[in-house]
Structure 1
Amino acid sequence: MPQTAPAPRTGRARGSRPRWWTELPLIVVVYAAYSAGRLMARGDVSTAVDHGLAILRVEKLLHINAEHPLNRLFTEHAALGIPADFAYASLHYLVTPAILVWLWKRRPSHYRIARTWLLVSTLIGLVGFTLLPTCPPRLLAAGHGFVDTMSQYGSYGWWGGEASAPRGLGGLTNQYAAMPSLHVGWSLWCGVMLWRCGRGRPAKVAGVAYPLVTTVVVMGTANHYFLDAAAGAAVMGLGLALARPALRLADGVRDRVGKRSSAPTGSPADSMTESPAEPLAEPLAESLAEFPVGTGTAPIVSDGCETSAGERIPRQPGRGGHPDDTAATVVGSAATARPAAADDGAPAAAR
């Protein structure tokens, strides 16, 4: 029965854990591109201020400007403001990578889609920073009623008065990249991963609490408007919708590259030697090579196994005077012959 050659292996199984030495450079490159693009998308300061004021007017019109009371609460109570500043300056850069590593190690079946969701959403956020540079509440004129808590409590931490950047490194960040809030977006991603992949009630509680606390923190520290937070959640929703198509596209490209690299080269005969029948073909060829065609003698081809009288080797002509008939006849008679001396003790002349 003919056998079909197995399909070429073009990569790892879809649910398997990707290799860390391919994942780490991918994430580093995407994050470096995001950071560089974020810095280049500084925009005009007056335009960013106009966008910030427009957002504030819309919020006041809709009565959703929750950042005002939260900011007053944080500035009046250091017990709330200082932990909030620490959370804003650190959790964004610690929790997200930690959950990404946890998924890679403990939940490999969820890792690829989760990683793709995070990367696609981050790149969408970069588009938002470029198209809509926005002045955060803390950088508006004092008459708008906001206080920069990170500047107020700067002596307690490593940050200065320039967003969450370490003191003296404010030039390495874009302070007008407020819309959308990826602090909220990334925390929402973390919450979904904890809720879906975590085990036990603590993971579920953390999955709900972390994005909610982050939203309160970004508004209370006057780093984002409420609409920035809502836009961050919307960006994550769009990234989730595009994650699977992006993953299928990447898999298709990888499979095509793998098929090209594994395609057989050389003559058709070369590819035949790579078929699954190769282990059977080589011993058969050696056996046929030992068989002397066209001679009067032939080796016994069966050791103690009897064949029917007149049985011929396949593809050998019948009795008709052809030189190969001798070989076929000799093989048939030799295969059916028995050692006479061992059977009946008759003299050699009688056999």
Structure 2
Amino acid sequence: MDAAVDATNNSNSVQREHRTYWWKEALIMGAFYLLYSWSRNLFGSAHISLETGEKPLRAFHNAERIIHFERTIGLFHEESVQDWFLRFRGFIKFWNTYYGTAHFIVTFAVFWILFVKRKDVFPQWRNTLAITTALAIVGFSLFPLMPPRLLDSPCPAQGGFGGSCIESKYRDEGPDGLPKTEDDGSFGFVDTLPKYGGALWTFDSKAMKTISNQYAAMPSMHIGWSSWCAFAVWPLLRRRWAKIAVLLYPAATLFCIVVTANHYWIDGVGGQLTLA
């Protein structure tokens, strides 16, 4: 009898020990995201002075290194991909909206599903997301990277965070490294958000310029988080169409970050590595 009582008490103790509360998890993740945003913005564009006209040389030259590497392996096609789709204005607006919303909505939804449906593994997946995000901060600090959309945008002296004032041999070369037939002195990327719209925010707003590190591109957390969502929710799915949809989510996100010129495709590889 005493043994049975002890077993029951031990069972209740274990249950209490592993009990999770939604408000506690929400506070933890909210605090972590605020810490992530604060620490991410300690580097990169947050330290570029718009008043003095400081040039973002480090972020720009890192972008040149990425372009050189992708050209070397024959896979620098981001500008060609974007250029083909720019004719479809509504299509681009959709992906601008996707870029600014799905990243948060889908991640939160999967986080909640795990909390409700898989409390046994919820702590592991929560910690995996936190570690992945923390590793990204290391990447942002060690390798500030100017995204494609900013390569031809105004420099700080003109009130922006771009690299239009910085000379580069890559402005005169096509994706294959050969001289352009029609040289316009640009990389050819378009910053789709201010030109096409489609999102509830803009990088050009005063608030975003103050709180956002626009050189936090390597690794891509859009890819890191979307891959986390796919892996985390996969065991819960039974229908084939649902599994296919989950696998397509990171692929769609990769297309999004390229067609909107927010990332190079290799940033996505970096995002995968932080999750690995």
TM-score category, normalised to shorter length: 0.7 to 0.9
- Distance apart, 1:49 and its partner CA: 0.8
Matched, 1:169 2:215: no
Name the CA distance, whole Å, in 1 between partners of 2:6 and 2:238: 43
Say which of 91, 107, 117 aligns to 1:80. Answer: 91
Name the CA distance, whole Å, in 2 between partners of 1:190 and 1:75: 29
- Distance apart, 1:40 and its partner CA: 0.8
- Distance apart, 1:65 and its partner CA: 1.6
Give runs of aligned pairs for residues 171-186 of structure 1, distance below 5 A.
171=209, 172-186=211-225
Q: What's the secondary structure of 1:76's corresponding residue?
A: coil
Q: What's the secondary structure of 2:120's corresponding residue?
A: helix
Matched, 1:144 2:146: no
Give runs of aligned pairs for residues 1-351 of structure 1, distance below 5 A.
12-13=14-15, 18-42=20-44, 45-141=56-152, 143-154=186-197, 156-162=198-204, 167-171=205-209, 172-237=211-276
| Structure 1 residues 91 and 14, CA gap change in structure 2 (3 angstroms) | farther
> Which amino acid in structure 2 is aligned with residue 41 of structure 1?
F
CA-to-aligned-CA distance 1:10-50 (integer Å, 9 cap, x gap): 96549955122321221111111100011112256211111
More relative contact order, 1 or 2 (CA 8 Å, 6+ apart) = 2
Name the CA distance, whole Å, in 2 between partners of 1:109 and 1:15: 12
| Alpha carbons 1:191, 1:211 under 8 Å: kept | yes
Q: What's the secondary structure of 2:121's corresponding residue?
A: helix
CA-to-aligned-CA distance 1:310-343 (integer Å, 9 cap, x gap): xxxxxxxxxxxxxxxxxxxxxxxxxxxxxxxxxx
| Alpha carbons 1:160, 1:168 under 8 Å: kept | no
| Alpha carbons 2:258, 2:264 under 8 Å: kept | yes
| Alpha carbons 2:60, 2:151 under 8 Å: kept | yes
| Structure 1 residues 10 and 54, CA gap change in structure 2 (3 angstroms) | farther
Q: Which moved more, 1:206-215 or 1:189-198?
A: 189-198
- Distance apart, 1:60 and its partner CA: 1.1
| Alpha carbons 2:40, 2:141 under 8 Å: kept | yes
Q: What's the TM-score once normalised by structure 1's chain length?
A: 0.61
2:175 equivalent in structure 1: none
2:181 equivalent in structure 1: none
1:306 equivalent in structure 2: none
> Which amino acid in structure 2 is aligned with residue 169 of structure 1?
A
Name the CA distance, whole Å, in 2 between partners of 1:56 and 1:14: 53
Name the CA distance, whole Å, in 1 between partners of 2:269 and 2:82: 18
> Which amino acid in structure 2 is aligned with residue 158 of structure 1?
L
Q: What's the TM-score once normalised by structure 2's chain length?
A: 0.76
- Distance apart, 1:197 and its partner CA: 2.2
| Alpha carbons 1:52, 1:134 under 8 Å: kept | yes
Identity %: 31
Name the CA distance, whole Å, in 2 between partners of 1:10 and 1:131: 47
Larger Rg: 1
| Alpha carbons 1:39, 1:173 under 8 Å: kept | yes
Name the CA distance, whole Å, in 1 between partners of 2:135 and 2:12: 30
Name the CA distance, whole Å, in 1 between partners of 2:226 and 2:92: 19
Query: Gapped runs of 5+ residues in structure 1?
Result: 238-351
Name the CA distance, whole Å, in 2 between partners of 1:107 and 1:236: 20
| Alpha carbons 1:133, 1:179 under 8 Å: kept | yes
RMSD: 2.6
| Structure 1 residues 10 and 215, CA gap change in structure 2 (3 angstroms) | same
| Alpha carbons 2:39, 2:137 under 8 Å: kept | yes
Q: Which moved more, 1:83-92 or 1:107-116?
A: 107-116
Q: Give the number of equivalent residue pairs.
A: 232
